């Protein structure tokens, strides 16, 4: 039994988050919740510090620590930075919302967000089935609690309940899949797993019993992954949670947590089980096609914007799944790029809703009606965001769709690419409806108060980034390209 | 470089109007115009080279990984369109200066206009098909802003949305088409793609690529059946209609057809798709235009019709037809823009665009009338004007084109289209400007200021000049652009007024004659038209939308009615389906491990277990009975453990069962005794089927696993237990030593759970729940004797014994069944019995232990044990043990694990008691009792007195 001290410095950001998260938790016990600025400032400080640690501890080359349970590589650095930046932006969007609602537990909100970020970090840096699951559950538990945070709002509680029951089921299935994988290979580490599978002799013959066992393992793993991503038919929680949770939480789930979900897929399916692509491709295809279909069709009827964005998320996840389905480095790259773009755009869209939330929580199309009269700049930003989601060039969303389609066509999946395009066209319809309501309908509500200055600034940056990166997509593409 | 500048200038210049508007409307207009003039001038510097047949190219890599290069090139076709865009753009800017009212935000308008202009120029100069698409969608977006510019008009909104939905959607389809083209050729550069005609037409991807590109192009150019958006976009300010819907945006689709003509045209499918679409569009739109009363709607449909004409010509696929198409593009742009502007003048000065309210304007606004008449005559195809020339060429081509073996079809329909064109053009003139002067117009008609009529006058001048001297004024441009379209040697043609007595001339004459007849008999024709059907594309579009929303709503309702049960059913159902598919796709046979004989005891246990589960199912509405059944199942499981030689597990299981049942009983006390039946039978059947299927699957997996030999980890623990952990009870050694870290985590969870129960109940009691409990009246019959003496006495006697047993189990745990966890449960049960028998108040007075502290102390002790091994230089929770010989007891082993086990013990007792104490607080609250001081309700001493 050997005992070696792990290299803690690689996980400096995680330790920092853990320490400051606990400190904030203790602080919250002793400090009145009225001192919002302190809690907010400390949370932002924690995130900024974590970003510093992420960059400081980023190794030259891929490094493992904690007995190979933890990996630090370019993918981790990229995704962690994105998670931190988007979380920080989300908190800026959320600050005035919480300030207006003194009955909401603020300290808990910040603590849960920080621990959720920690969970994502663990997922992103996971290098074994165990760490993956650990991070996943840490994230999931925080999210359940966050959804239920607004205790006086029954839909929130109902959503949290559904989220929890379904989430627990999915986690169980995922764990079951992992246990079968462990049984088949005798290892938990991803690179040992990959090495085991890279040996052609150990690849299961089609039709053999081992193949059946692998089939079951992949089935259960994919069910778990599909749930986390929110792919049809394991998507049922998405609309209810998006609608039921308060907008800051929806923002967090809808944008930041998608990065972690993709990290989970990339680590488990690609890094660990990439050699079995032939076996999981078919399942991914079904998930993708169903998600594209249902997400886009159902979004048409939604009057509640949060719910509409929920279905649109499902549709976007369909796109991401298609990119993964290609099972080529170009496809993985496309998936990563797509999810980053999506997270950025979704953050902005929910940010606009938060900017419009005075006492009343803005969430239906009516709340946006005639926005151009009251807040022309916000309306313009929302226009950019929606157009980017629809995939209209020259906004960033266009390139995301473009490289996914290219990755598919490179592999000769013509029909799937066409299918994706057809449903993008259908999808464009409901994004355009939002624009139409903002620009061409007369407002039915009185103007909401001007959003806070920091919120407007962050939101403007968010929206303009979509244009700027749309004009110079090479910047972001270079970043994501370096990973694969 | 200047090519890039031509494209970028409008974009960069777009900020100017927004800035300059503060200094006045004229300054703003001049700034906007100067941007366009500069771009136009730059374009003109390339004219000599392009007319010589050279192609100006510039570019650099932008995103080579995506095949997206910032390449621009200028050939004849690009020059033609760029000049149209910039030239007419300039006229429109001047016109708009006078057209827009004072209260209209002119700066915004010009900004949008310049953005649009830049995007259009980008389309026609792009050498990269992906970049072309980017500009393409930019025109959709900026046109959206322009069309929706007049926010106060409700039609404007509807129009803008429909325009964007159709053209934007078409653009997305085209992206896919462009990707396919790039896929075939291996490059997205147009100059490369245009070299690979054979490769593209031989590819299996040709047809899908063609279809997708055509959808995009037809949507943009408003071709049948996607034509319906254009007339509705007419709610835009007239300068916008004139610019977007005559000269530029709608021609983008045509431009693309022309641009890709060299590689896509010439096949049968191209001919039938493009020609047929163009032909239908030409005739249908002209027919609709004839009966429109709104001037702009009339012009809009006539635009659609003329675009159909050009599309048809391109569809023919012959070089001569291509020349005709290019020529007609020029001509149509000039006369149609002039017509739109004149319609705008009428609207602006008279206050109405409705033909029914107009008429007799020729004397009131002579300049406008003259300009409009000449332009409309050109549209009608009257000789000596440019419209006549290109129409003649079109008819000439149509005359000898055979459609599916029918030589008469195309000539006939083309003549019909021309005839309708004559009719509506002449109607525009006669019913607006001629006829009787009305007594009342919405406002007094007069000619507009010069700035407003000069731009159309300039265009009308071009109409006449090209009409009279086609070769001089249009010849070089037509030659250059037609050369670019054809991509090869130009056919033999000459632009002139007189071609001799050709079939075309005959058809033209027939069209003119019949057109005049139609107008002469317009009242009768209109009456006939009114009887016919009037399919409304917009209504269809709206119905499609409503239908889509309805389908979507139904879908959402079916899948997402908010029922968690339904979600779960979907979830599990999907898992089951995937699992069974996986199962059937692989080979699957049972293992060959020898079966163990089924012992009678095992069979009885198995039957009991099944019976218990079935009883639970049947009785689950009666909660107390259900609880008892759960207890029974638990007991059978414990017996199962005993049978399988796992006494530790059995002991733990029994203790846990007891504690759970007691706590559940306490909780159930406050809930209704029965669960109401809410599920419908359909749902029960559904859930039953799912449960059976999933159960069968899991059972099959278990069977498959158990019928095979397997290697187990147990041997390792069995061997290492004594030497490694110093105990012979493997289960306990595993718990406190080998996997002590797990146990450590578990007791923390247990502690947190107890605290959570405390927090929940404590919080709840203060809120609404507390008030409810205060008002609660129990309907249950309760025994008068709440604390039976028998029980009180028995528990008193039992307590020391139970504690002793606890201590015994605890101490011996390391070697024989027992341990901290079980001991904790045993002690907790003994204490619970005290509470139950003697009442809470009495017991609490004598048990002054802080359970919070107990939980905390337990965890701290366990943690300290773990940290202790750090001090000794070992990893967390490394255990050490030593043997001592005690008097009386004999040899006794003292392991560090015992300290750890103490922690476990304390946590378990604390957690259970904390939960209990809080549940009983609810009970007291509900029964409105004071805390009883006496162990029994009736004081025995008082009884004896009586």
Q: How far is A323 from chain B (nearest CA, A)?
A: 15
The overall average pLDDT reported for chain B is 81
Average pLDDT over residues B349-374: 81
Residue A313 CA to its chain's centroid (Å): 10
Contact assignment for A436 to B176 by CB distance below 8 Å: no
Per-residue model confidence (pLDDT) at position A369: 86
Residue B254, number of CB atoms within 10 A of its CB: 26
Q: Which of residues 752-781 of B touch A (CB under 8 A)?
A: none
Residues of B in Cβ contact (< 8 Å) with A422: 173
Query: When comparing pLDDT for B679 and B798, which is higher?
Result: B798
Residues of B in Cβ contact (< 8 Å) with A372: 151
Band of the pLDDT at A287, cuts 50, 70, 90?
very high
Band of the pLDDT at B780, cuts 50, 70, 90?
low
CA trace torsion B860, B861, B867, B873 (10° rounding): 170
Contact assignment for A402 to B168 by CB distance below 8 Å: no
pLDDT higher than threshold 90 for residue B111 = no
DSSP states of B208-241: HHHHHHHHHHHHHTT-TTSTTHHHHGGGS-HHHH
Identify the closest residue of chain B to A380 by CA–CA distance: B145
Per-residue model confidence (pLDDT) at position B936: 54
Looking at the complex, does the CB of residue B513 fall below 8 Å from at least one CB of chain A? Answer: no
Rounded Cα gap, residues B204 and B586, in angstroms? 35
Identify the closest residue of chain A to B566 by CA–CA distance: A236
By Cβ distance, the residue of A233, A302, A432 closest to B164 is A432
Q: Which of residues 409-468 of A touch B (CB under 8 A)?
A: 409-410, 414, 417-418, 421-422, 424-425, 428-429, 432-433, 435-436, 439-441
Residues of A in Cβ contact (< 8 Å) with B63: 399, 473-474, 477
Using CA atoms, how far residue B735 sits from A463, B638, B649, B806, B901, in Å, is: 55, 19, 12, 18, 9
Identify the closest residue of chain B to A184 by CA–CA distance: B710
Average pLDDT over residues A278-295: 91
Identify the closest residue of chain B to A399 by CA–CA distance: B66
Q: How far is A329 from chain B (nearest CA, A)?
A: 13
Per-residue model confidence (pLDDT) at position A265: 93
CA trace torsion B918, B921, B926, B929 (10° rounding): 160
pLDDT higher than threshold 50 for residue B946 = no
Least confident of A353-367, A470-484, B697-711, B723-737: B723-737
Is residue A249 classed as helix, strand or coil in its secondary structure?
Answer: helix
Average pLDDT over residues B284-291: 85
Per-residue model confidence (pLDDT) at position A6: 81
Residues of B in Cβ contact (< 8 Å) with A207: 586-587
Looking at the complex, does the CB of residue A212 fall below 8 Å from at least one CB of chain B? Answer: yes
Rounded Cα gap, residues B249 and B139, in angstroms? 7
Looking at the complex, does the CB of residue B883 fall below 8 Å from at least one CB of chain A? Answer: no
Tokens of B408: 């008469």
Per-residue model confidence (pLDDT) at position A169: 92
Average pLDDT over residues B558-585: 85
Q: What is the DSSP code (8-state) at residue B438?
A: P
pLDDT higher than threshold 50 for residue A249 = yes
Tokens of B572: 């599990």
Q: Which of residues 132-151 of B touch A (CB under 8 A)?
A: 133-134, 136-138, 140-141, 144, 148, 151
Band of the pLDDT at A255, cuts 50, 70, 90?
very high
Band of the pLDDT at B151, cuts 50, 70, 90?
low
pLDDT higher than threshold 50 for residue B485 = yes
Residues of B in Cβ contact (< 8 Å) with A25: none
Per-residue model confidence (pLDDT) at position B933: 57
pLDDT tens sequence across B876-902: 777 777 666 666 666 666 677 788 888
Please state the length of chain B.
946
Looking at the complex, does the CB of residue A162 fall below 8 Å from at least one CB of chain B? Answer: yes
pLDDT higher than threshold 70 for residue B158 = no
Average pLDDT over residues B77-83: 88
Average pLDDT over residues B750-771: 83
Per-residue model confidence (pLDDT) at position A133: 94
State which of A348-352, B48-52, B369-373 shows the largest mean pLDDT: A348-352
Residues of A in Cβ contact (< 8 Å) with B157: 436, 439-441
Residues of B in Cβ contact (< 8 Å) with A433: 161
Antiparallel, parallel or unpaired: β B56-63 and B68-74: antiparallel
Per-residue model confidence (pLDDT) at position A1: 44
The overall average pLDDT reported for chain A is 89
Average pLDDT over residues B619-624: 86
pLDDT tens sequence across B174-202: 888 888 888 888 888 888 888 888 888 88
Contact assignment for B157 to A439 by CB distance below 8 Å: yes
pLDDT tens sequence across A116-173: 999 999 999 999 999 999 999 999 999 999 999 988 888 999 999 999 999 999 999 9
Residue B838: φ, ψ to 5°: -105, -5
Looking at the complex, does the CB of residue A215 fall below 8 Å from at least one CB of chain B? Answer: yes
Average pLDDT over residues A438-448: 78
Tell me what percent of the residues of chain B surpass a pLDDT of 70.
92
- H-only helix segments in A230-276: 237-244, 247-251, 257-265
Place of tokens 């001081």: B933
Rounded Cα gap, residues B311 and B271, in angstroms? 10
Residues of A in Cβ contact (< 8 Å) with B130: 402
Average pLDDT over residues B35-46: 88
The half-sphere exposure of B654 on its side-chain side, counting CA atoms within 13 A, is 14
By Cβ distance, the residue of B161, B176, B575 closest to A405 is B176
Average pLDDT over residues A89-108: 90
Looking at the complex, does the CB of residue B588 fall below 8 Å from at least one CB of chain A? Answer: yes
Residues of A in Cβ contact (< 8 Å) with B766: none
Least confident of A425-439, B55-69, B381-395, B682-696: B55-69
pLDDT higher than threshold 70 for residue B945 = no
pLDDT tens sequence across B649-702: 888 888 888 888 888 887 787 777 788 877 778 888 888 899 999 889 888 888
Question: Which contacts qualify for B565-570: CB closer than 8 Å, 24 or more apart?
Answer: B565/B679, B565/B683, B565/B687, B566/A236, B567/A162, B567/A166, B567/A236, B567/A237, B568/A165, B568/A166, B568/A169, B569/B686, B569/B687, B569/B690, B570/A233, B570/A236
Contact assignment for A166 to B701 by CB distance below 8 Å: no
By Cβ distance, the residue of B66, B571, B585 closest to A403 is B66
pLDDT higher than threshold 70 for residue B643 = yes
Least confident of A173-177, A225-229, A237-241, B443-447: B443-447
Least confident of A380-389, B265-274, B360-369: B360-369
Find the helix or strand (DSSP H, E) in which A215 lies: helix A209-229
Find the helix or strand (DSSP H, E) in which B61 lies: strand B56-63
Rounded Cα gap, residues B565 and B679, in angstroms? 10
By Cβ distance, the residue of A297, A300, A436 closest to B161 is A436
* Total beta-carbon pairs less than 8 A apart between chain A and chain B: 185
Identify the closest residue of chain A to B557 by CA–CA distance: A298
pLDDT tens sequence across B210-251: 898 998 888 888 888 777 777 777 767 778 877 877 777 888
Per-residue model confidence (pLDDT) at position B1: 62
Contact assignment for B555 to A298 by CB distance below 8 Å: yes
Rounded Cα gap, residues A382 and B166, in angstroms? 21
Looking at the complex, does the CB of residue A302 fall below 8 Å from at least one CB of chain B? Answer: yes
Residue A23: φ, ψ to 5°: -60, -45
Contact assignment for B587 to A209 by CB distance below 8 Å: yes
Residue A452 CA to its chain's centroid (Å): 26
Query: When comparing pLDDT for B142 and B37, which is higher?
Result: B37
Q: How deeply is B876 buried, as exposed, middle or buried, from its count of CB atoms within 10 A (0-12, 13-18, 19+)?
A: middle
Looking at the complex, does the CB of residue B825 fall below 8 Å from at least one CB of chain A? Answer: no
pLDDT higher than threshold 80 for residue B135 = yes
Band of the pLDDT at A343, cuts 50, 70, 90?
very high
Task: Pick the residue of B144, B581, B582 with the most A CBs within 10 A to test the interface with A by mutation.
Answer: B582
Looking at the complex, does the CB of residue A396 fall below 8 Å from at least one CB of chain B? Answer: no
Looking at the complex, does the CB of residue A25 fall below 8 Å from at least one CB of chain B? Answer: no
Task: Pick the residue of A284, A294, A417, A421 with the most B CBs within 10 A to test the interface with B by mutation.
Answer: A421
What is the domain partition of chain B in residue ranges?
A: 265-548, 713-778+785-939
Place of tokens 């009386």: B888
């Amino acid at each position: 039994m050997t005992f070696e001290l792990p290299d803690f410095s690689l996980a400096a950001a995680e330790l920092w988050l853990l320490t400051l998260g606990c400190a904030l938790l203790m602080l919250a016990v002793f400090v009145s919740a009225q001192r919002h600025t302190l809690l907010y400032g400390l949370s932002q400080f924690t995130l900024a510090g974590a970003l510093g640690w992420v960059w400081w501890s980023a190794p030259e080359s891929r490094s493992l620590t904690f007995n190979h349970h933890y990996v630090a590589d370019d993918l981790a650095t990229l995704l962690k930075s994105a998670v931190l930046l988007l979380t920080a932006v989300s908190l800026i969007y959320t600050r005035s919302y919480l300030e207006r609602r003194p009955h909401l537990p603020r300290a808990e909100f910040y603590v849960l967000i920080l621990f959720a970020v920690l969970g994502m970090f663990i997922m992103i840096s996971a290098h074994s089935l165990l760490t993956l699951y650990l991070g996943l559950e840490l994230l999931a538990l925080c999210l359940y609690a966050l959804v239920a945070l607004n205790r006086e709002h029954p839909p929130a509680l109902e959503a949290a309940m559904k989220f929890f029951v379904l989430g627990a089921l999915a986690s169980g299935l995922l764990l079951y899949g992992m246990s079968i994988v462990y049984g088949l290979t005798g290892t938990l580490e991803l690179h040992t797993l990959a090495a085991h599978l890279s040996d052609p002799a150990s690849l299961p013959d089609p039709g053999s019993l081992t193949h059946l066992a692998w089939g079951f393992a992949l089935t259960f793993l994919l069910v778990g992954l599909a749930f986390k991503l929110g792919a049809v038919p394991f998507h049922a929680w998405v609309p209810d949670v998006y609608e039921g949770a308060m907008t800051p939480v929806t923002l967090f789930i809808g944008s930041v947590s998608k990065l972690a979900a993709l990290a989970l897929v990339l680590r488990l399916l690609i890094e660990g089980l990439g050699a079995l692509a032939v076996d999981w491709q078919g399942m991914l295809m079904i998930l993708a096609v169903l998600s594209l279909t249902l997400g886009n069709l159902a979004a048409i009827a939604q009057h509640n914007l949060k719910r509409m964005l929920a279905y649109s998320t499902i549709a976007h996840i369909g796109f991401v799944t298609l990119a993964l389905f290609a099972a080529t480095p170009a496809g993985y790259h496309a998936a990563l790029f797509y999810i980053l773009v999506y997270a950025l755009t979704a953050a902005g869209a929910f940010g606009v809703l938060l900017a419009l939330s005075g006492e009343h929580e803005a969430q239906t199309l009516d709340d946006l009606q005639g926005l151009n009269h009251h807040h022309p700049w916000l309306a313009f930003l929302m226009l950019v965001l929606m157009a980017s989601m629809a995939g209209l060039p020259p906004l960033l969303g266009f390139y995301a769709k473009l490289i996914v389609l290219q990755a598919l066509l490179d592999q000769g999946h013509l029909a799937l690419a066409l299918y994706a395009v057809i449903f993008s066209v259908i999808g464009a319809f409901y994004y355009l409806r939002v624009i139409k309501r903002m620009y061409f309908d007369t407002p039915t509500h009185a103007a909401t108060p001007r959003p806070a200055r920091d919120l407007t600034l962050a939101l403007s940056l968010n929206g303009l980034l979509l244009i700027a990166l749309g004009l110079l997509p090479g910047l972001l593409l270079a970043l994501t390209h370096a990973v694969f | 470089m200047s090519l890039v500048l031509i494209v970028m200038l409008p974009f960069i210049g777009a900020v100017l109007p927004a800035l300059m508007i503060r200094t006045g409307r004229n300054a703003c207009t001049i700034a906007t115009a100067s941007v366009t003039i500069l771009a136009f001038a730059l374009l003109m510097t390339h004219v000599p080279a392009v007319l010589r047949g050279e192609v100006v190219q510039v570019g650099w890599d932008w995103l080579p990984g995506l095949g997206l290069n910032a390449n621009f090139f200028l050939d004849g076709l690009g020059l033609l369109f760029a000049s149209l865009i910039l030239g007419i753009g300039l006229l429109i800017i001047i016109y708009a200066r006078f057209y827009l009212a004072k209260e209209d935000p002119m700066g915004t308008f010009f900004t949008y206009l310049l953005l649009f202009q830049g995007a259009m120029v980008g389309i026609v100069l792009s050498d990269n098909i992906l970049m072309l698409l980017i500009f393409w969608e930019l025109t959709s977006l900026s046109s959206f802003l322009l069309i929706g510019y007049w926010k106060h008009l409700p039609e404007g909104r509807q129009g803008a949305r429909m325009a964007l939905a159709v053209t934007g959607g078409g653009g997305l389809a085209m992206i896919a088409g462009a990707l396919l083209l790039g896929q075939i050729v291996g490059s997205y550069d147009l100059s490369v793609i245009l070299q690979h005609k054979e490769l593209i037409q031989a590819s299996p991807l040709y047809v899908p690529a063609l279809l997708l590109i055509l959808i995009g192009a037809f949507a943009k150019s408003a071709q049948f059946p996607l034509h319906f958006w254009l007339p509705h976009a007419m709610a835009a300010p007239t300068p916008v209609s004139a610019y977007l819907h005559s000269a530029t945006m709608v021609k983008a689709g045509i431009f693309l057809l022309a641009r890709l003509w060299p590689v896509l045209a010439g096949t049968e499918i191209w001919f039938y798709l493009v020609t047929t679409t163009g032909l239908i569009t030409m005739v249908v739109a002209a027919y609709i235009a004839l009966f429109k009363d709104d001037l702009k709607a009339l012009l809009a449909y006539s635009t659609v019709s003329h675009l159909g004409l050009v599309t048809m010509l391109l569809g023919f696929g012959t070089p001569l037809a291509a020349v005709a198409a290019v020529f007609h593009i020029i001509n149509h742009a000039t006369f149609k823009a002039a017509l739109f502007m004149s319609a705008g003048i009428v609207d602006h000065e008279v206050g109405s665009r409705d033909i029914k309210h107009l008429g007799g304007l020729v004397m009131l606004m002579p300049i406008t009338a003259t300009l409009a008449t000449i332009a409309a005559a050109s549209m009608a195809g009257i000789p000596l004007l440019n419209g006549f020339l290109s129409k003649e060429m079109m008819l000439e081509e149509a005359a000898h084109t055979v459609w599916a073996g029918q030589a008469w079809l195309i000539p006939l329909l083309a003549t019909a289209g021309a005839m309708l064109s004559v009719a509506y053009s002449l109607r525009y003139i006669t019913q607006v400007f001629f006829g009787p002067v009305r007594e009342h117009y919405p406002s007094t008609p007069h000619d507009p200021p010069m700035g407003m009529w000069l731009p159309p006058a300039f265009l009308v001048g071009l109409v006449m000049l090209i009409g009279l001297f086609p070769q001089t004024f249009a010849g070089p441009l037509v030659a250059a652009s037609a050369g670019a379209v054809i991509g090869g040697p130009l056919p033999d043609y000459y632009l002139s007024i007189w071609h001799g007595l050709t079939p075309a001339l005959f058809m033209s004459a027939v069209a003119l004659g019949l057109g005049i007849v139609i107008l002469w008999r317009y009242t009768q024709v209109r009456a006939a038209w009114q009887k016919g059907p009037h399919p409304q594309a917009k209504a269809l579009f709206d119905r499609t939308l409503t239908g889509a929303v309805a389908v979507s709503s139904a879908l959402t309702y079916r899948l997402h009615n908010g029922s968690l049960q339904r979600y779960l059913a979907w979830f599990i159902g999907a898992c089951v389906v995937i699992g069974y598919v996986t199962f059937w796709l692989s080979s699957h046979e049972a293992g060959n491990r020898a079966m163990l004989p089924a012992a009678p005891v095992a069979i009885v246990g198995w039957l009991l277990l099944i019976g218990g589960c079935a009883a639970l199912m049947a009785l689950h509405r009666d909660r107390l009975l259900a609880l008892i059944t759960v207890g029974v199942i638990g007991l059978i499981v414990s017996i199962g453990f005993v049978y399988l030689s796992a006494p530790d597990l059995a002991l733990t299981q029994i203790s846990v069962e007891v504690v759970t049942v007691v706590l559940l009983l306490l909780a159930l006390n406050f809930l209704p005794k029965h669960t109401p039946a809410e599920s419908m039978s359909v749902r029960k059947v559904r859930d039953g089927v799912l449960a059976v299927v999933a159960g069968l699957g899991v059972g099959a997996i278990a069977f498959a696993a158990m019928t095979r030999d397997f290697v187990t980890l147990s041997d390792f623990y069995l061997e290492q237990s004594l030497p490694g952990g110093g105990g012979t009870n493997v289960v306990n050694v595993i718990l406190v030593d080998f996997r002590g870290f797990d146990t450590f985590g578990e007791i923390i969870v247990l502690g947190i759970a107890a605290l959570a129960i405390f927090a929940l109940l404590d919080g709840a009691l203060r809120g609404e729940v507390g008030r409810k409990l205060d008002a609660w009246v129990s309907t249950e019959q309760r025994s008068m004797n709440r604390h039976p003496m028998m029980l009180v006495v028995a528990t008193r006697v039992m307590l020391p014994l139970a504690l002793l047993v606890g201590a015994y189990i605890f101490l011996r745990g390391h070697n024989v069944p027992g341990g901290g966890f079980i001991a904790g449960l045993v002690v907790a049960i003994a204490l619970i019995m005290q509470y139950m028998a003697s009442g809470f108040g009495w017991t609490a007075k004598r048990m002054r232990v802080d359970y919070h502290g107990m939980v905390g102390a337990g965890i701290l002790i366990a943690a300290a044990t773990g940290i202790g091994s750090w001090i000794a230089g070992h990893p967390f929770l490394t255990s050490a043990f030593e043997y001592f010989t005690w008097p009386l007891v004999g040899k006794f082993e003292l392991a560090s694990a015992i300290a750890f086990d103490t922690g476990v013990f304390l946590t378990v007792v604390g957690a259970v008691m904390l939960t209990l104490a809080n549940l009983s607080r609810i009970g007291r609250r509900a029964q409105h009792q004071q805390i009883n001081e006496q162990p029994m309700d009736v004081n025995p001493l008082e009884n004896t007195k009586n």
